[in-house]
Structure 1
Amino acid sequence: MKDPIILPLVQDESWLEGHSQDIYKRYQRYHSAIKEIVSFSGSILEFSKAHEYYGIHFEKLRNGWVYREWAPLAHNLFFMGDFNYWNRYSHPMKRNYRGDWEIFLPFDEYKDKIRHEGKVKVHVEADNGAYDRIPAYIRRVEQDSENHDFAGQLWFPEENFMWTDKNFSAKSNKAQPIIYECHIGMAQEKEGVGTYVEFAENILPRIKDGGYNTIQMMAIMEHPYYGSFGYHVSNFFSPTSRFGTPEELKYLINKAHEMGIAVIMDIVHSHAVKNINEGLNEFDGSDHQYFHPGPKGYHEGWDSKLFDYGKFEVKQFLLSNILYWMEEFHFDGFRFDGVTSILYHHHGHTDFDKVEKYFDEGVDKDAVLYMQLANTLIHEYSENQISIAEEVSGMPGLSRPPEEGGIGFDFRLAMGIPDFWIKTLKHKPDEHWDMFEMWHELTNRPKKEKTIAYAESHDQALVGDKSIAFWLMDKEMYFSMAVGQTNLVVDRGIALHKLIRLITISLGGEGYLNFIGNEFGHPEWVDFPREGNNWSYQYARRQWSLADNKDLKYKFLSQWDKQMIKLIDDTKTLKSAHAKQLFLDPEKKILVYERADLIFVFSFNISHSYFGYEITVPEAGEYSIVLNSDDNDFGGFKRIDTSISYWTDDDNKIQIYLPNRTALVFKRLKS
């Protein structure tokens, strides 16, 4: 047997040499799939245009509306809605040999009946009974305010949205993504659901002012339960109507582009809501149209349905969904939710303690292929599109191109970093913090795979857990955040909050992410309205007034975040090579490293400050402090004179004053 080609992924990662054949088979499956797609459609872009065929469209050549639906095992389909007074049987659809159903409505006959904002459904008769369903490719879904029933809504506005972003490119954003993770509904301070327009007018300027160049929008795809955070999707081609109209979402994205901000969607292809009335489940009467049959198609932990990525029509549905959001709404890319669950039959519920587990029977090879195809589509649409994987197993080649043996993402989320911070804060007193462990957790990533580092995301802020600020300061945040008020818990919390964020952004990856409001230490948790809290919005909002109040210490964390990000952005730190450790003192809790020609000095010491502390730097010359966490502007104690220059001695050492719980960043001055 001829030896397989040794792909670049294996060449670069010697620990994978024993599995070079597995990786080569992954590569072969990908090329076979691309060949099949090209043979069928001409290109992956053409293959991914099912949304232009299925669903409800006006066809100029035939001068009328056509509605198509894929439902191979259904017995009968009937189109219904306002246009026929919800008559379930007056408009039967015809089936072809592929299981596609179709009905044509001539313009002359229906010009006064098929109208913008008209409500529609499809009545499906199948083995599971007869149900009124929402069309699978519907572009808008709205909930009735009285009976709370969801229905499809025809969306034919008289004027198309006029985009003004043709000159925007996410190329520079992709090179160094500094991401603001946000939720439109909970972004306002009011106790209620925010809108796309309110976000564009009130929040985008804050994001721009904070220095973030990318926003990651959660909960955009329609979902029947608000409290699911958008992760139980029912209608994959419908931007949620809770926040406004499709044009208002376009307005938001267009305005972000005008500000130079890229917009990526938190896309959920890992599972779907199990609801029959609102979603795809049992659409044609079977349990295996879009999903795996039986228990394999159900995620017990998420109480949701799991896609069959090996089915041709399912691949086309999901890939078309990706193309639709890029074309119709100008999204600049995606953060794929639950990639670990996608890639493995066991959904990641195992210890990845052996290399074999990345290639054994636990791996869903169809899912791996789907992820490769998804990333190929994204990057063929535009090389400047951004794809990010929420993946915790460490799947080899996750962020390497398929041609190199990888899966094709641009970045993976460093999910181990927030876990490390929360475990440290929960279980270790400050004096037991392990500097070696900290360095390892923040630098343990493949050199040729890019990572988005983050100290916390929405996951850590959900009810049942706490944000980092809340872990650090807890109830003291309610009583002791006034400027001028002395409180040891708050002093410690503010100091460590700053250090944790700076060391994470500068050491942990090639991109950075922050969850909305956490930059200024937003108090409490996130809890959506539900029966258990009397349907309150108290914890499903962001209290911007805290950061804006000059009399409260939240302003210090907000100002620190702005200056930290400005430094990282100006110096292109995230684009630079991995950091080089210069010094680590486990007893004194001091860590020094170099990245992007900056010298980062951290003291996590709980009580001792050091005069004349010697640091060896890579180059001789004059150094100055460009960022100081102990500055008054950041809630520090101004123990350091930042106007002083530091000259190296004959051994390339500088002597500094290093207070406890302080971070300093030095830069060599050019002569």
Structure 2
Amino acid sequence: MSTKSTTAPTSVSLVETPVSHLPIVQQDNLLEPFEPFLKARYHRYKAALHQIEQHSGSLYAFAGAYKYLGMNRDEERKGWIYREWAPEAYQLYLTGDFNGWQRTAHPLHRNERGIWEIFLDDATYGANFGHGSQYKVVVHARNGLNDRIPAYANYVVQNPETHDFCPQIWYPSQPYRFKHSFKKHKNLANPLIYEAHIGMSSEQEGVSSYTAFRENILPRVVADGYTVLQLMAIQEHPYYGSYGYHVSSLFAPSSRFGTPDELKQLIDEAHRCGLAVIMDIVHSHAVKNLNEGLGEFDGTDYQYFHAGVRGYHALWDSRLWNYGKWEVLEILLSNVRYWLEEFNFDGFRFDGVTSMLYSHHGLDKSFLGYADYFGDDVEADAIMYLQLANTIALQTKPQVLTIAEDVSGMPGLGLPVEDGGIGFSFRLGMGIPDFWIKLLKEKTDDQWNIWEMWGALTNRRFTEKTVAYVESHDQALVGDKTLSFRLMDKEMYTSMAKSMDNLLIDRGIALHKMIRLLTISLGGEGYLNFMGNEFGHPEWIDFPRQENGWSYQYARRQWSLADNGFLKYHYLGDFDKAMTHLTHSHKILAAKPAKSLHMDEASQIMIFERGGLIFIFNFHHSNSIFGYMFKPSRKGKYKILLNTDDAAFGGFERIDTQTRYATNENGLLQLYLTSRTALVLGIEK
């Protein structure tokens, strides 16, 4: 945080700056009627950036507030300095094990900005204050005298007996030093993302650790062909069952999984293995808990969040940030820089972006036309914040990857800010899993329409990159069903042995592979899979809670199902590995959008080309066709690169993968297309 000025604006004002015709409108002329709005949001961003640079010297310096606020070591003065912004508090005190938890023995002093400060010098406190020391701030305000966790606390531990959370200084004599950095930047351009949750990554019933994940799961991710590891639930959260989305301490890696250095070691090892590592960052809302969170910190309900109803998300039961406030920009932008610099993350998946973009939070809202993205219910301050967040992310790490979780389809979300966009690298293709769920729930196999599939998987803004996926953690939550469970249901518990024949299982295995291959090849420029779904993990995710007797039965991953060799799960895992390796080696996600070659609605056959490869899908439940003919873009001799019906993937091996297929004098290919089978062909060189 810059100390060049002792005052700061309390809000961000709009400064009209001339802007030329925006590239976003040049790319899509249907946006021309809304160009005034697009220019206004760009002006607002430029005005905020100008104010920040005037005050702090640079956006990068402004986003260094975590080095100024909170508990920080001052080597020049030889001691610890603690600062907290609490403008409407009457008095702050520092308490902890260093003073026997005396609540009012160490008062802080306030400056004109409402920042309170205390310095603990080594000469006086060195023997009692340092690495491992626990502390809290006592805030005297209109809501009483309350022990609180500092806003910038960077390590928070939970008492195993009382379950209370308390900040702890993490300042080891030999801090972890990164040995590796992620150098395969091309992986970030078209990521194959493995979404994972540290705590539930073990097969044992309990909470796993950063170390166990590094030793046991990371090698799986590398072997499976994924290029980016996405970690959930990293920011500290008091309730384990919130999946990490009710964040209480923005800067603290969750201590239930281990220490900050153990997280750093995990990231370092991932980088050594060639993986990029991104994290779910939760800036869309915050936990409402007063004991752990920031609600009513200085005695008001509007210090960090919107006051009253506007500051509360009823569906999520959480607080909503006021992005138009200087200090909120300060803490959130600092948080972006912090995780990139201090932990060497390579980027973020921004959670709940739809909720941020609109005052209605996207709830019960259909986005039917461009006018729905530019009305009075659009949150201009939130858009400005997201633009600044993407800017500081790029300034901190030029090869950064940022992904927006948005279901609305806001134009420009995945375009550079200078083009009139919001600056994300990618947007999540959230309509794709919804389509597959709807299809499986509402239509029988003979009703599946290949044109509907094509439309659902290609309905996106091709000027903005999309991460396609069949299922993330959202599709595996309790009360819902994973893709494999929707396809095979309770039969998975009794009929997955290789020695057993079951038509429902055969159908499920075949369609599981086809759906994933169609999604990865047609749906976007990136791809995501949630931990365990690659081999069809059979069960939903249900964290320990009173209703299930605080059981960890469903908050784990049963890797043995795929590893033991007796069950059919490994077929799905082996296919997923072959699929990701083919996708990566042939740069399919980096290729131009797919070109349709042949659509046979009656036979449920879809054939398209992408990245020089031909993808053939026969979704018919029983119709296998000999001598099926179509015309590829190029003449030549083709070979099968991937066959979902291969016996190695649990298929029936009805097609000889050694056969070569040459185009005839008319440029046509002729081959045997078996039912419920997908093939990938490539020209033999």
TM class, shorter-chain normalised? over 0.9
Would you say 1:549 and 2:564 are equivalent positions? yes
Aligned to 1:320: 334
Deviation at 1:105, TM superposition (A): 1.1
Deviation at 1:26, TM superposition (A): 1.5
Letter in 2 for 1:411: F
Deviations 1:630-656 (A, max 9, x none): 000000001001111111112211111
Would you say 1:106 and 2:121 are equivalent positions? yes
Secondary structure at the counterpart of residue 186 of structure 1: coil
Partners of 1:263 and 1:331 within 8 A in 2: yes
**Structure 1 unmatched runs, 5+:** none
Question: What percentage of residue pairs aligned between the two structures are identical?
Answer: 57
Aligned to 1:492: 507
Equivalences for residues 106-505 of structure 1 within 5 A: 106-166=121-181, 168-349=182-363, 350-505=365-520
Deviations 1:285-320 (A, max 9, x none): 000000000000000000000000000110010000
Q: Distance in 2 between matches of 1:106 and 1:566?
A: 56
Deviation at 1:4, TM superposition (A): 6.0
Question: Which of 71, 89, 93 in structure 1 is aligned with 2:104?
Answer: 89
647-656 or 465-474: bigger deviation = 647-656
TM-score (structure 1 length as normaliser): 0.99
> For the structure 1 residues 521 and 59, does the alpha-carbon distance in structure 2 shift closer, same or farther, using more than 3 Å as the test?
same
Secondary structure at the counterpart of residue 52 of structure 2: helix
Partners of 1:170 and 1:385 within 8 A in 2: no
Deviation at 1:5, TM superposition (A): 2.7
**Structure 2 unmatched runs, 5+:** 1-15
Aligned to 2:3: none
Partners of 1:170 and 1:384 within 8 A in 2: no
Aligned to 1:22: 37
Letter in 2 for 1:333: G
Would you say 1:616 and 2:616 are equivalent positions? no
Would you say 1:633 and 2:610 are equivalent positions? no
Deviation at 1:534, TM superposition (A): 0.5
Q: How many residue pairs align between the two structures?
A: 669
Deviations 1:488-539 (A, max 9, x none): 0000000000000000000000000000000000011000000111011000
Secondary structure at the counterpart of residue 478 of structure 2: coil
What's the C-alpha RMSD, in Å, of the aligned pairs? 1.1
Secondary structure at the counterpart of residue 97 of structure 1: coil
Secondary structure at the counterpart of residue 573 of structure 1: coil
Q: Distance in 2 between matches of 1:446 and 1:293?
A: 36
Letter in 2 for 1:209: A
168-177 or 560-569: bigger deviation = 168-177
260-269 or 39-48: bigger deviation = 39-48
Q: Distance in 1 between matches of 2:72 and 2:470?
A: 45
Partners of 1:117 and 1:155 within 8 A in 2: yes
Deviation at 1:33, TM superposition (A): 1.4
Q: Distance in 2 between matches of 1:287 and 1:2?
A: 34
Q: Distance in 1 between matches of 2:18 and 2:620?
A: 55
Letter in 2 for 1:142: V
Partners of 2:621 and 2:675 within 8 A in 1: yes
Aligned to 2:88: 73
Deviation at 1:2, TM superposition (A): 12
Deviations 1:357-414 (A, max 9, x none): 2111110000000000000011111221100000010000000001000000000000
Letter in 2 for 1:74: A
Aligned to 1:589: 604
Deviations 1:435-492 (A, max 9, x none): 1111011011112100000000000000000000000001111110111311000000
Aligned to 1:533: 548
Deviation at 1:170, TM superposition (A): 4.7
Equivalences for residues 36-75 of structure 1 within 5 A: 36-75=51-90
Partners of 2:17 and 2:43 within 8 A in 1: no
Deviation at 1:3, TM superposition (A): 9.5
Partners of 2:571 and 2:649 within 8 A in 1: yes
Q: Distance in 2 between matches of 1:240 and 1:425?
A: 37
Deviations 1:197-246 (A, max 9, x none): 00000000000000001111000000000000000000011000000000
Deviation at 1:162, TM superposition (A): 1.8
2-11 or 351-360: bigger deviation = 2-11
